[in-house]
Every structure is written in C-alpha cells, then in structure tokens.
A and B are shown apart, each in its own frame.
Chain A
C-alpha cells in the first residue's frame, strides 16, 4: 500500500492529522494542475485549498469509493473545483485591472523561472480561455499534465473515445486561432 493510500485510509478511519501527509505528498502536482487550469497562481491556491477540503469531507463521510486510484480521485476533485471557480470567475463583474497582473509567484522559484511561469500562465490563460470546459480540461490533463488518455478519461468520468474527440476539437480550435493570428 502506498504512503498516500495509507494516509487516506487513516483519515477515513478518523485520523485528521494524517491528512497532512496526503497534502504533503500531492500538493505540488495538484497546485500545478490548478495553476494550468486557472492560469492564475492566486486562484490556483484557493482552488487547491477548496479541493482538499472537499476531499477531506468526502473521506470522512465515506464517499471515496476506491474504484479509482487516490491520485485520479484527487485530480478529479481539483479539476471539478477549478471548473467551478472558472464559472464563478465568468459570473463575477470583470475588474478594471487585469487579474493576472496581481499574480504572486511562490518564493521557492528562481526569478527566471518565476518570470517564465508568469508569462506562460498568462499566455495559456488567454489562449485557452474560451474553450468549452470539457475541451479545456482534456487539453490541460493530456497535453500539459502529460497523462495517458485512459487516466484522463477516468478523471473526467468519460470514455477514451470521448476524450480523444474533445482533444481533436480543442486542437482544431487552437490551430485555427493560430492560423488567424
């Protein structure tokens, strides 16, 4: 049994402190996924925190059915939380300033990495912003996270064929946009 799975079992059995081990082992990947989904590090932090709270509550209420791996399950929660946050962002009145101007990049990164990440997130956010949520999710999970199609399908609770179709559509949209640009 992996360390994360052992920690998850401990949390489900009532050990709250064991959840810190789950966070420790998974936060880097989940935070990066949230950043790529949101295109904004501050919002990514909120999304990851919210996703962990949802995961914790699900574990305590026995709602983790163990049909998928812990990683897949957590990826699914972060993806869904990010999609909720994106919908909320669209509903909000747009501020006069560009929210991406206020991005705070974590202090652990070097300044060169910081600049590159900031620019890349800004570019990514503008590039994929108007893709439908399912295409955006498939693109981020497959092309940026580098996950295999069957895992993307498991995360999205969909078939591999449907994932491939979403990717084809997303790529066609982005390609036509690049041609126009």
Chain B
C-alpha cells in the first residue's frame, strides 16, 4: 500500500515536472501565415473522395451506355420489321416468310 502511494507520488511529481517544462512551448512566428496559406490552397482529394468521384462517373457512364443500348435495340427491331414488310410486298416470299415467322415466333403468336 505504502509502495503504491509512493509510486503515485512519484508519478505525479514526474508529470508535474514534464508539464512545467513544456508549458513555455509556443508556436513558431510563421505558423499563422503558414496555416492561412494552407487554408487558402486548393485541396487534394482524399482516396475516399477519389473513389466516390470515380464511382459516380462510372455510374453515369453506365446509365448512358444502357440507354444507348435500349435505343439501338428498339431501332434495330423497327428496321427488321420494315425490311420484312418490304420483302413481303416485293414478292420475296421465302425471305419475308422466314423473317416474319422468326419475329412472330419470338412474340409467341405463331405456332411452330
């Protein structure tokens, strides 16, 4: 018990000495200017910010690509339908029949 009390007293004495010795520490004269320069400087993005920004860009690009793919497929489908109809009118019966039957079977309207 006494040993512990002595240990506590020694600890407090050492902490007080270190506290007193470090009390006069003051910042270098140029620190405020250095801080204000750093505050006004453009920030470098952190790794998390870079990842977030990249993923947002990737998401936007993916959305544009998906929309373009949908538009293209709709357009192709319309072209195919027009081509089949044109062939049927022009008398190319075999080709038009194949194209039309393919399309109709995709829609499930024609029995194989």
Could you tell me which A residues sit within 8 Å of B by CB distance? 16, 19-20, 23-24, 27-28, 31-32, 35-36, 41, 45, 48-49, 52-53, 56-57, 106-110, 113, 116-117, 119-121, 123-124, 127, 143-144, 146, 171, 174-175, 178-179
Is B50 located at the chain interface by the 8 A CB criterion? no
Tell me what chain A mostly uses at the interface: helix, strand, loop, or mixed.
helix
Q: Is B28 an interface residue (CB 8 A)?
A: yes
Sample 17 A-B pairs with CB under 8 A, ordered by A number: A27-B27, A27-B35, A28-B26, A41-B25, A48-B31, A53-B38, A106-B26, A106-B28, A109-B25, A117-B21, A117-B24, A117-B25, A121-B22, A121-B25, A144-B19, A175-B4, A178-B10
Give CA–CA (A165, B39) in the complex, Å. 38
Contact with A along B4-16 (1 / 0, CB 8 A): 1001101100110
Checking A35, A119, A175 against B11 with a beta-carbon cut-off of 8 angstroms, the contacting residue is A175
Chain A residue at minimum C-beta to C-beta distance from B7: A175
Chain A residues with CB under 8 Å of B8's CB are 171, 175
Q: How far is the CA of A53 from the CA of B36 in the complex (A)?
A: 9
Given A52-B39, A175-B7: A27 and B23 interface contact (C-beta under 8 Å)? no
Are A107 and B28 in touch, CB under 8 angstroms? yes
List the B side residues contacting A24 at CB < 8 Å: 32
Q: Is the CB of B39 within 8 A of A19?
A: yes
Q: Interface of chain B, helix or strand or loop or mixed?
A: helix
Q: Which of B11, B18, B24 contacts A144 (CB 8 A)?
A: B18
- A16 touching B11, Cβ below 8 Å: no
Complex: chain B residue closest to A108, CB-CB = B26
Take A20-B36, A27-B32 as given contacts and tell me if A123 and B18 are in contact as well, using a CB distance cutoff of 8 Å: yes
